[in-house]
Amino acid sequence: MVSRREICPACSGDGSEKGSNRKTCPSCNGKGETVQSAGFFSLRRSCSQCGGIGTIISNPCRSCRGSGAIEKKRQITVKIPAGIEDGMRIRMTGEGDGGERGGPPGDLYVVVPPTCLCEARRQVCL
């Protein structure tokens, strides 16, 4: 079993409760960054209150607590190609954690340890 973060089904990855809207961040006025000036120098940073998004969640989702993702356990079957050696990595496209704010899932890399390979049934222990 592998645990991974998937899009929250209750809020569809938005992080806010159904029927509630996101509000413009009062700290950066929706720009996503703050500017500090001192003479000739100015410093731009991502807004600490909204994380650079420009909006804040007024009523967060109860299932994911506003993160937009929940932790789920899944069983994944890994096909071991012929000729694989100890320590090699197998890339499983689309089987990794879900992307930020409802983005597509990334890739899962499985490292093949030497103790998990067997001659008769080539399997990987996760």
| Full-model pTM | 0.59
Angstrom CA distances, 73 to 2, 23, 79, 106, 118, stand at 5, 33, 19, 16, 26
The pLDDT score that the predictor gives to residue 115 is 62
Closest CA to 15 of 52, 66, 54: 66
Whether 7 contacts 104, CB under 8 Å: no
The segments of the chain whose pLDDT lies below 50 read 119-126
The pLDDT, as a whole number, for residue 87 is: 82
Amino acid at 59: N
pLDDT the model gives residue 41: 92
Please write the tens of the pLDDT for every residue from 4-38. 888 888 888 888 888 888 899 999 999 999 998 88
Task: Retrieve residue 76's tokens.
Answer: 């994944």
